[in-house]
Amino acid sequence: MSDLQKLLTWLSPAFPVGTFAWSAGLETAIVDGKVTSREQVEDWIGGTLGHGGLKTDAILLVHGHRNWNNGAALSELKDLCLALTPARERQAETIITGNAFVLASAAWPTDVPAPLPKPCPYAIAIGALAGAHGINLGDTLVAFLTTTVHSQISVAVRLVPIGQTDGLAIMAALEPEISRMAAFCGAATLDDIGSVAYGADIAQMKHETLGTRIFRS
């Protein structure tokens, strides 16, 4: 029960990491008219989940969890994560939220602290600290993927805009894919990292050139 409580708290929108302030390029896609409907929102988020940066982050989380007490391995994961990040703002997003997560989660100390790298990308921080607390990897993956998908849907609800009903329908529709990706990533090696979500990558790169921006990426 305590593990579930930690996951619900750590990945709640109320946890002070500021994930609500970032869109991972979705704002650009909406402004450019590429995402204007419920169906397009679902396709966009489903694409990043199955073929883009969210899949990459989930695999990095897995290896952070497996190597939570190995400082050298965590440092290498950090370097890999930052090397794979396609845009400056997206890199800032994962670093700022990751460092904030490390700081906030210090309220839950462990007997053996995880030797986290500095800076510590968000997905790696979640994986390593969940590992340090002995929290099940599969549960951590499902929680991470679910909350990240919900955050993206929240961006679309506000900016497309789509209604709350459509947002909830997208959440429900993506639940099977979240479960499938959690199972896949849970058994993935680093060689399984790969992205073909080029539209999302380009949107992240273009975001800093928008004249008016609500989100930071």
Over residues 10-22, the mean pLDDT reads: 95
Residue count (the chain): 217
- State what percent of residues in the chain have pLDDT above 90: 98
Over residues 101-129, the mean pLDDT reads: 97
Structural domains present in the chain: 2-10+25-205 (1.10.4190.10)
User: How big, in percent rounded to 5, are the helix, strand and coil portions of the chain?
Assistant: 70, 0, 30
Cα–Cα distance for residue pair 64/41, rounded to 1 Å: 30
pLDDT at 5 over 90: yes
Give, in degrees to the nearest 5, the angle at Cα 193 between 62 and 154.
Answer: 70
Provide the pLDDT confidence category of residue 171 given band limits of 50, 70 and 90: very high
Residue linked to tokens 């680093």: 190
Amino acid found at 184 = F
Check residue 96 and give its pLDDT.
98
Q: What is the mean pLDDT of the chain?
A: 96
